[in-house]
Amino acid sequence: MLLKRWITAVVLLPFLIALVVKGSPLYFSVFIAAASIVGLSEYFKITLPECGKANPHILLAYAVSLALIALAHSRMFEMGALALGVNLMLSGVIAIIRFKDHPDAAKVVAFQMFGLVYVTLFLAAAALIRSGPDGVVWIFMLGATVFSGDTGAYYAGTYWGRRPLAPAVSPKKTIEGALGGLAGTVGAGSLIVFFFLPGFSWSVAMAMFLIVGFFAQAGDLFESILKRTSNIKDSGVILPGHGGLLDRIDGILFAAPVIYFFQTYLAGG
């Protein structure tokens, strides 16, 4: 399994680097839109397995997801609240129409709305980062801090892990692994700041690394809650050795808004 994880990473990494460095913000937003659709599909399989692919609530979610990413790319993300509001209104109308034959329609609306926030809204932050100032550097900051933290947590937990971190959620995760993950996040982020963001305040940077490291690991654990509640191991099979897309980006989802905040409001601090 570990070999498959590394092979998948080695194959995909050059593509992702080329997409970020050589591709335009538009291409990156298209990639994020595709990732959002795949992520939502996996999310709905976890939370609403009884709903088919043609369920109107799910189809509406896909349409609104694309609209949210388009708004983020166009730097009109303030209209995202309106898009989510329209989604809730339309979902409510669909639930009213379907309630007689589907008395669980309100639950479906709640999970659909949550999925748009959890998957699409958080992924949209990545599109905002890429189209913002020094977007390429900050996207690498996002990816490097999260994935280095994930790698650090895995190896620190494997070799030194003794005390469980959240046994009810993920029995294999340990406090030692979490600390190794924070070290990986701080190390990778420090290298990027040193070489590519020389004007960035180190005190602000360290605060960012710790917050990103915390929320990236929280995102990992939160997805574990979703899967444990539905009694499944992986969100999908799209990435050999990793499982589904959500299994790979669960930390990214919680970390992207943090990186966007620091890039937008504190980069000059």
Question: pLDDT tens digits, residue range 206-238?
Answer: 999 999 999 999 999 999 999 888 888 767 656
Give me the pLDDT at residue 23, please.
84
Q: Is 247 in contact with 236 (CB distance < 8 Å)?
A: yes
pLDDT digits (tens, 9 = 90+) for 117-140: 999 999 999 999 999 999 999 999
pLDDT beyond 70 at 192: yes
Residue with tokens 């340990």: 174
Measured from the Cβ of residue 259, the count of other Cβ atoms closer than 10 Å reads 26
For the chain, the domains span 23-131, 134-269
- Reading the block at residue 181, the tokens are 């993950």
Left (φ > 0), alpha (ψ -120 to 50) or beta: where does 231 sit? left
- Reading the block at residue 160, the tokens are 């030194």
**Burial of residue 175 (number of CB atoms within 10 Å: 0-12, 13-18, 19+):** middle
C-alpha dihedral over 173, 32, 42, 87, to 10 degrees? 120
